[in-house]
Amino acid sequence: MQAQRSRSNIIANQRGMISIMTTMILMIVISLIVLGFAQQARRNQRSTLDRQLSTQAFYAAESGVNDAAEIIKNTSLDKISNKTSCSDKGTTNVYASLVDNNSIDSAHNVSYTCVLIDPAPNDVSYDSVSTTGTIVPLFSGTGGAFSTINMEWKSKTGSGTPTTGCPNSYTSTSTVFTPTTSWTCGYGVMRIDLVPVSGNNTANSYQSAARTVFAVPVKAGTTTYNFGSEGNKVIGVTCSDTSCKLTVSGLTDSEYYMRLISLYQDSSMTITSSLGLKGAQVKIDSTGKAQDVLRRIQVRLPLNTTGSQNQLPDNALQSTDSVCKRFSAMDNYLNLSNTVDGDNALCQ
């Protein structure tokens, strides 16, 4: 009887151990769940803080750009030197404030830590070239003469296949463009007026040196134009569904002015040269900091206040229909009722 009672106590004790083990396992699982939620909460908190600091760093970088732009605006072009390091104060300390007064909020460790300035970048970009002329000064960044300039323009109509509807090729004997209502190509016809300006100082010299090219987008055309030998010309430029590219060769001068007009469709244009392009845009590279978070941005600032938009009319006369202009005149006399070759002097 005693042995049977001892056996019952052992069984009861074993049942208690199972309850303890079950409780311990549940406590471990619950603890792991709590730790997981706590870790996730810390990550969310850090992510929120990082986003806030990133925004502050971005605005600090923008402040660096704005301060640099204000300096450039109030500085003569000959003193806008290349700022290649964070501590560079430029010619006659013109960039000193970008180095010495770069704090935005010292209490929260917000500042722009580095501003770099390139007054002669290897490429200049224009987001919207339209039927209003865009004037681009192209001065050699090294002072040496250009040999080639590379041009690339893209469609502003969106993604897809802009070459759909473009001609397969361009026949040089054709001198009449397609009416606007019938144009189905996703690229516009780029009119390029280019004139060298160093050494030319009369209207006749500018006129004789200037060249005008109409670049018609085609699927199979040319990729080069020789400024020195080809003269005024209409050419078919090879375009892909990505962009149209044209290399202007035969250049022998260090200073040019270019006017761009995009017919039918607006375009975005990028012009590049290994010598650097001075006088059109300045590239500003600014890094902002908020505590331990950094943001870096680059912008291009036009060196003229009008953003390179042509301030002169692109045509002397514009009409939605044909224009007839006839009159007869002599010294000290003008009679609009006179006839010319039997016709009335004014169009009816």
> In whole angstroms, what is the distance from residue 263 CA to residue 267 CA?
9
pTM for this entry: 0.73
Of the candidates 31, 41, 60, 37, which has an alpha carbon nearest to the alpha carbon of residue 288?
60
What pLDDT score was predicted for residue 165? 85
Task: Identify the bridge partners of residue 154 per DSSP, sorted by sequence position.
Answer: 268
> In whole angstroms, what is the distance from residue 269 CA to residue 246 CA?
11
Residue 182 has pLDDT above 60, yes or no: yes
- Mean local confidence (pLDDT), 39-54: 81
pLDDT digits (tens, 9 = 90+) for 64-123: 999 999 998 888 777 788 899 999 998 888 899 999 999 998 888 999 999 999 999 999
> In whole angstroms, what is the distance from residue 49 CA to residue 292 CA?
11
pLDDT digits (tens, 9 = 90+) for 14-30: 556 677 777 788 888 88
Please give the residue that has the higher pLDDT: either 193 or 46.
Answer: 193
What pLDDT score was predicted for residue 64? 93
On whether the CB atoms of residues 237 and 84 are closer than 8 A, the answer is: no
What pLDDT score was predicted for residue 173? 61
At residue 33, the 3 state secondary structure works out as helix
Of the candidates 163, 233, 147, which has an alpha carbon nearest to the alpha carbon of residue 193?
233
End-to-end Cα distance, the chain = 139
At residue 7, the 3 state secondary structure works out as helix
Neighbouring residues of 73: CB distance < 8 A, sequence distance ≥ 6 = 305
What pLDDT score was predicted for residue 347? 54
Of the candidates 141, 12, 170, which has an alpha carbon nearest to the alpha carbon of residue 82?
141
Backbone dihedral region of 313: left (phi > 0), alpha (psi from -120 to 50 degrees) or beta? beta
On whether the CB atoms of residues 307 and 281 are closer than 8 A, the answer is: no
Q: Which of 23-32, 80-89, 276-285, 307-316 has the lowest mean pLDDT?
A: 307-316
> In whole angstroms, what is the distance from residue 164 CA to residue 188 CA?
13
Neighbouring residues of 294: CB distance < 8 A, sequence distance ≥ 6 = 57, 113, 287, 288
Of the candidates 146, 156, 171, which has an alpha carbon nearest to the alpha carbon of residue 258?
146
On whether the CB atoms of residues 199 and 271 are closer than 8 A, the answer is: no
Task: Identify the bridge partners of residue 191 per DSSP, sorted by sequence position.
Answer: 214, 261
Share of residues in the chain with pLDDT > 90 (%)? 41
Q: Which of 26-40, 60-74, 203-217 has the lowest mean pLDDT?
A: 26-40
- Mean local confidence (pLDDT), 238-260: 93
